[in-house]
Amino acid sequence: MKSLAELKAIRERVQSQVSMRAEDHNHIRVVVGMATCGIASGARPVLTTLANAVQEKGLTDKIAVTQTGCIGLCQYEPIVEVMEPGKEKVTYIKMNPDKALEVVERHLIGGHVVEEYTLNHADIK
């Protein structure tokens, strides 16, 4: 290594990995339902897609992607919940990796809830 620029490049590459290991109450929490129902309907690729996207975009210091168990709406799995401190929880249903990326872009980065994928939007009787 001969320059500070090289040092900075390494830092930027590793930082998103290491900063995941911080404890911050202001994190936005993105939670994927990973119970049997969730896994069966394809929650795992959704989880990995979200986790990777957040790291690639260097957002691990603001956003934590984790799993949770069954939340009781098995027919709507895979379910992704976005919990932002001070805001109402947003529940996305019937997710897949493509939709997940869209949520990252439009909601987590852009700040606009992707209404058409949410539970509120679905016609629940």
User: How many helices and strands, by DSSP H and E, does the chain display?
Assistant: 4, 4
* Residue in 62, 67, 109, 118 binding other proteins, rule: CB under 8 A: 67
Stretch that binds other proteins, among 24-32, 77-85, 94-102, 107-115 (CB under 8 A): 24-32
Say if CB 29 and CB 51 are below 8 A apart.
no
How many residues at the interface with other proteins, by CB under 8 A?
Answer: 39
Q: Which of these, 88, 37, 87, lies nearest to 67 by C-alpha position?
A: 37
Mask for 79-118, x = binds other proteins (CB under 8 A): ----------------------------------------
Give, in order, the Cα–Cα distances in Å from 112 to each of 24, 32, 60: 23, 19, 19
| Residue 75 makes contact with other proteins by CB under 8 A | no
| Residue 28 makes contact with other proteins by CB under 8 A | no
Measure the CA–CA gap between 76 and 110, rounded to whole angstroms: 25
Say if CB 55 and CB 16 are below 8 A apart.
yes
Footprint of other proteins on this chain (CB under 8 A)?
1-4, 7, 10-11, 13-15, 17-21, 23, 25, 27, 31-36, 39, 47-48, 50-52, 55-56, 60, 64-69
